[in-house]
Homo-oligomer: A and B are copies of this chain.
Amino acid sequence: MNITIYDVAREANVSMATVSRVINGNPNVKPVTRKKVLRTIEELGYRPNAVARGLASKKTTTVGVITPDISSMFFAELARGIDDIANMYKYNILLSNSDQNIDKEIKLINTMLEKQVDGIVYMGGQIKEEHLQQFNTSPAPIVLAASIDPSQSTPSVNIDFEQGGYEATNLLIDNGHKHCAFVMGTNEATINELKYQGFIRAHEEAGLTFNEDHLYRGDFTYNSGIEAVEKFSKLDQKPTAIFAATDEISLGVIHAIQDQGLSVPEDIEVIGFDNTKLAVMVRPTLTTVVQPMYDIGAVAMRLLTKYMNREEVEEANVILPHQIIKRNSTK
């Protein structure tokens, strides 16, 4: 049998309530008593049972984190931001991968709620009615990180993706390009669509008509970038600049261009999105829209702590600033 608070109480000649107070740092304990209890805790090698504590206090000090795929650099970085802040507030992270599968997402939320998490940080490509229904009936607060709820009814932390796409495209247009291409990920991703909308708005404002042939829908991978360029190269009207929805796609784009004997940025300019560490791990280094992944995770977790503590929240839908870092893939 394990050592319980009761064993400690007996050995220290106090009541379990006193032991509990010592463990929880309750000031209402005489220093002498506290010392005595602390010593016998040490002696017995007592380790508090957080599950029992959770049952009695209705707080588990763990938060659920639902991510599409932790092996993606993007979400891994977000998760790191979440965990660091969680730790700061004494929470632990119950992490799960959803693969953007809606059934799995719903199931995961329920599992975490059964496990009585104090809150959830949710990441996912598309928020649908089913999600919202779960979010709205959840007994624990939920915050979205780098995920868009079109209804704006769920607290969230994001950047302005449409504006990011707009600015990236404008950089290309300002450099004189009239034929910009956009390589996007799956259309299951709201964020993706937002970047595209920005891309389109930039064209409209510049009075440029966008050639639909210059849109490539891939799946966010390096290979998508390669395939996009291969497709573009067969066109009569080839794009002279390419905006890729992520850095990883951008690397594929750059390498495919180079494999064809062309140069970046001389022949074709390329701009990415995210500023993952990949951006400086290519030649030429990548001009890209900076998305502060770590910060989004950190701020989302911080926001969640406010809800968990029932603190006042001034703004439920946080938009973090973004910027463009110019490197060598654009002129």
Contacts and interface: CB of A to CB of B under 8 A. Distances in A.
Interface in A96-135: 96-97, 110-116
Give 7 nearest A-B pairs by CB, closest first.
Answer: A71-B80, A76-B76, A95-B95, A50-B115, A50-B114, A51-B54, A51-B116
A2 interface: yes
Contacts of A92: 94, 96, 111-112, 115
Tier of interface size on chain A:
35 or more
Contact of A281 (B70, B72, B95, B278): B278
A60 interface: yes
A100 to B, nearest CB: 14
A116 B258 CA distance: 54
Interface string A50-82: 111011000010100100011111001101100
A216 interface: no
A200 B229 CA distance: 44
Interface of A: 2, 47-52, 54-55, 60, 62, 65, 69-73, 76-77, 79-80, 83-84, 87, 92-97, 110-116, 139, 222, 248, 251-252, 255, 258-259, 277-278, 280-283, 294
A39 to B, nearest CB: 19
A164 to B, nearest CB: 22
Count identical subunits in the complex.
2
Nearest to A59: B51
Contacts of A80: 69-71, 97
A116 B248 CA distance: 39
Given A70-B80, A76-B70, A283-B255, A49 B114 contact: yes
Given A2-B139, A52-B55, A47 B94 contact: no
18 contacts: A2-B139, A47-B113, A47-B114, A49-B114, A51-B116, A65-B95, A69-B80, A76-B76, A83-B95, A83-B96, A83-B97, A87-B96, A222-B277, A222-B280, A222-B281, A252-B281, A259-B283, A281-B282
Contact of A114 (B48, B84, B95, B282): B48
A87 B222 CA distance: 28
Most chain B C-beta atoms within 10 Å of own C-beta, residue among A65, A71, A72, A83: A71
Contacts of A47: 110, 113-114
